[in-house]
Structure 1
Amino acid sequence: MTTCTKCEATWGGMHTCHCSGCHHTFSSLSAFDLHRRGDQCRTPSDAGLVLADRAYPCFTRPTDHEHPHWTTDGQGVLA
């Protein structure tokens, strides 16, 4: 497990990202990138992210096709 020395959040995983600005943790670089707008952090909910099923707070892209931020091309590929 890795720990942030400023907020004391802990996380694990090879692709997990922790933002040094807002101190939220993300399941992947793509989820982290979604929460950034220029040099500003957006809230995970504003970025369309949801909590992942992990032992620590971690935001990820939703997997529910009914979620408003999840759109596909009809083939299950993100549009």
Structure 2
Amino acid sequence: MINHPACGKSWTGLRRSHCPVCHETFNSDSAADKHRIGKFGIDRHCVDPATVGLVATEQPWGRCWQAPGGDLRFGNTSAAEAA
């Protein structure tokens, strides 16, 4: 279990990414990068992860944002038809 002392949130998994600004947890660096917009060093800031197409999943340790991809939990009909 990994704990972030500034916000008190915890998560598991070495691939997870936790934003030190807004303290949201993401399933990967690429998902975390999607919630940051603007130019590096100028006006880069966090936005609501849902507004950039990420979906929240509840894990035993808390909420984790991820891209929906082919995960059948998110109603991807093409993935459902392929299964």
Q: TM-score of the superposition, structure 2-length normalised? A: 0.72
2:18 corresponding residue in structure 1? 18
Cα distance in 1, alignment partners of residues 46 and 12 from structure 2: 22
Cα distance in 2, alignment partners of residues 28 and 52 from structure 1: 13
Tell me the SS of whatever aligns to 1:46. Answer: helix
Tell me the SS of whatever aligns to 2:31. Answer: helix
Q: Which runs of 4+ in 1 moved over 6 A?
A: none
RMSD: 1.4
2:50 corresponding residue in structure 1? 45
Cα distance in 1, alignment partners of residues 19 and 46 from structure 2: 9
The answer to which structure has the higher strand fraction is: 2
Cα distance in 2, alignment partners of residues 45 and 7 from structure 1: 21
Larger Rg: 2
Gaps of 5+ in 1: 67-79
1:62 corresponding residue in structure 2? 68
Deviation at 1:52, TM superposition (A): 2.4
Gaps of 5+ in 2: 39-43, 78-83
Q: Share of identical aligned residues, percent? A: 36
1:34 corresponding residue in structure 2? 34
Q: TM-score of the superposition, structure 1-length normalised? A: 0.75
Deviation at 1:14, TM superposition (A): 1.1
